[in-house]
Homo-oligomer: A and B are copies of this chain.
Amino acid sequence: MDGASQSTACVMIIGNEILSGKTQDANLQFLGVELAKLGIKLVEARVVRDDPDMIIAALNECRAKYTYVFTTGGIGPTHDDITAECVARAFGVPLTLDADAVECLRRGRAELNEARLKMARVPAGATLVDNSVSHAPGFRIGNVFVYAGIPAIMRAMFTASIPALTRGAQILSASVDVYAREGDLAEPLERIALAHPEVEIGSYPFAREGRFGASLVVRGTDAAAVQQVLEEVVRAMVALAGEAAVSR
């Protein structure tokens, strides 16, 4: 894989509700798929509590390490929404009332009270990220993109940010399902993986209607290489388990 020039990313999911199990995160999978399409390698994700010190420490570590950091959650009007304040502290800048953000909020029908105005306070130097779903914008400061946690809004904000991202070669994947046990297919699969360091090969076991199998996935930025290695995997699996056990 082309590591030298590829942009990298970290997703930071902010919110006690994810760690308490109240809410199932639905944003990481979306961002994983979309970043791969843009050729940006999602290297890690973190889920952190609504704790300023933890958020600030994680943010400063990750924004130094990766090309981009995308945060989700904690930018609403309630007392437990502390993301903007934490981002400002991480960057060592004040929170300021953004006139354009106030304008966005005015477009909502609801009264612009003190709590709602909180959503127009962004770190000094930040630029707004459009929210086409509701009214409160996200924002970007440096390499950090700050989004809402509600999936529909997060998706709209990510889409609005795409022009600002440096794309790399799209990360492509191709896969085949094999009805064989991982313990049996491991050896031929490893032989192929060792011979092809230019792609990444993963094996993900499943059980369907009482039959064991694994989804074998080849990923890489070179379409021809991905396709060629997949063919090699298919041939090896047919040799191992028979034509009927291999489902593309």
Q: Is the CB of B43 within 8 A of A46?
A: no
Identify which of A22-30, A84-92, A123-131, A160-168 touches chain B: A22-30
Q: Are B204 and A17 in contact, CB atoms less than 8 angstroms apart?
A: yes
User: Is there contact, CB below 8 Å, between A217 and B17?
Assistant: yes
Q: Does A17 lie within 8 Å of B183, measured CB to CB?
A: no
| Also in contact, A32 and B44, with CB within 8 A (given A76-B205, A77-B183, A78-B190) | no
Asked if A46 and B46 make an inter-chain contact with CB atoms under 8 angstroms apart, the answer reads yes
In the complex the two chains form, what is the Cα distance from A114 to B111 in whole Å? 68
B16 touches A33 (CB 8 A): no
A202 touches B49 (CB 8 A): no
Known: A21-B31, A22-B204, A205-B76. A187 touches B217 (CB 8 A): no
A47 lies within 8 A of chain B by Cβ? yes
Binding site for B on A (CB under 8 A): 15-25, 28-34, 36, 42-50, 54, 58, 76-80, 110-111, 113-116, 118-119, 150, 171, 173, 181-187, 189-190, 193-194, 200-205, 214, 217, 219
Which chain B residue lies CB-closest to A186?
B115
Decide: A16 and B200 in contact? CB cutoff 8 A. Answer: yes
Q: In the bound complex, how far is the Cα of B219 from the Cα of A105, in angstroms? A: 31
Q: Is the CB of B203 within 8 A of A80?
A: yes
Secondary structure at chain A's binding surface: helix, strand, loop or mixed?
A: mixed
Of A19, A54, A77, which is in contact with the most chain B CB atoms at under 10 Å from its CB? A19
Query: Which residue of chain B is the closest to A115 with respect to CB atoms?
Result: B186
**A28-B30 contact, Cβ under 8 Å, with A42-B19, A77-B182:** no
A-B contact pairs, 28 of them (CB 8 A): A19-B44, A20-B33, A20-B36, A20-B42, A21-B33, A22-B32, A23-B29, A25-B25, A25-B28, A43-B54, A44-B46, A44-B47, A44-B49, A44-B54, A45-B46, A76-B186, A77-B183, A77-B186, A78-B190, A78-B203, A79-B186, A79-B189, A79-B203, A110-B181, A111-B184, A114-B187, A115-B183, A115-B184
Excluding A19-B44, A21-B28, 4 further A-B contacts by CB distance (< 8 Å) are A18-B32, A19-B32, A46-B46, A78-B189
